[in-house]
Amino acid sequence: MRIENILVIMRADEGQLARLQAAAPDAKVIRQSVKTLTPQQVAEADVVVGNLPPNFFPHLKRIKLLQLNSAGVAPHYVALGQDNPGMVLCCASGAYGVAISEHMLGALLMLMKRLHQYRDDQHKALWEDRGDVAGLRGAQVLSVGMGDIGTRFAQLCACFGAQVIGIRRRPAAPPEGVQRIATMDELDSLLPQADVVALSLPETEDTMGLMDERRFGLMKQGSYLLNVGRGSAVVQPALLEALRRGRLAGAAIDVTEPEPLPKDDPLWQEPNLLITPHISGQYHLRLTHDNIIDMAARNIRALLGEGEYVARVDLEAGYRA
């Protein structure tokens, strides 16, 4: 396998570009912003590092590896891989676990300790005791989606003394700190016992609308919901109703449907809901950025016959194999 041109369309500094160059010393590494990207550059690329916009798909002529900088895999990338059987498609699943799991933990503790309410009171110069709080020690946590993000979050909760059950599509041995791994067909029976339900799921036909009015009705009174996967996993009017009725004591969502969330959506005004604008991952933590570059370098080496691919996408399932 020969690689002549590596086109990098995600943000990368000189040190990160050098690591990509080291993976394929004979190749030319080209850093180009999507805003100034040309069809010719795409046509000449053997490897593309970054989420290539779909309008450039018809210009791919020599593509051998598309390395996404996102953990999730949009349907149009899956279709591109299916239409180009000679192309390897890899995502960045595994790069975001530390950043997003820490975001989840911070959001959950904020809600449990009523810190969001005290922050609101601060802006009103209001000195008021908000009463009882919740904690993770002894709490039942249900981590729905046990990829890198869900597993790391589960283990963080276990460190605080929580009892954690993970949910995956298929049975598996539980990682350290997790009591057991359940499958999706057990979700309904587990929801009534869970103090915390954390979603870190890709968008598939099975996950869209997963948390609807019926399932919110199954959740434990005064429990908490977190969603960092895709906004489509939660039926938002049902979430709002569950918060207003007190079924949920609080919720934190880093993803919405649509994005951005419209300014007139009533979710913005819900006092026990934390909304963040899909920022738990991205490159805000330097470790995440470096992880993506290192994954791309490993996959370039794998393309050259050195080692195994990491986070290669299963084109039938639509996410990391």
Active site residues: 230, 259, 278
Question: How far is the C-alpha of 137 from the C-alpha of 146, rounded, in Å?
Answer: 21
Question: How far is the C-alpha of 38 from the C-alpha of 59, rounded, in Å?
Answer: 9
Other CB atoms within 10 Å distance of the CB of residue 180: 12
Question: How far is the C-alpha of 11 from the C-alpha of 153, rounded, in Å?
Answer: 27
What single DSSP character describes residue 269? G
Question: How far is the C-alpha of 33 from the C-alpha of 129, rounded, in Å?
Answer: 51
Question: CB–CB of 60/89 below 8 Å?
Answer: no
Sequence-separated (6 or more) residues with CB below 8 Å from residue 203: 72, 74, 229, 230, 232, 233
Question: How far is the C-alpha of 283 from the C-alpha of 12, rounded, in Å?
Answer: 10
Question: CB–CB of 195/201 below 8 Å?
Answer: no
Q: Which of 223, 227, 248 is nearest to 136 (CA)?
A: 223
Question: CB–CB of 234/227 below 8 Å?
Answer: yes
What single DSSP character describes residue 312? B
Question: How far is the C-alpha of 125 from the C-alpha of 70, rounded, in Å?
Answer: 41
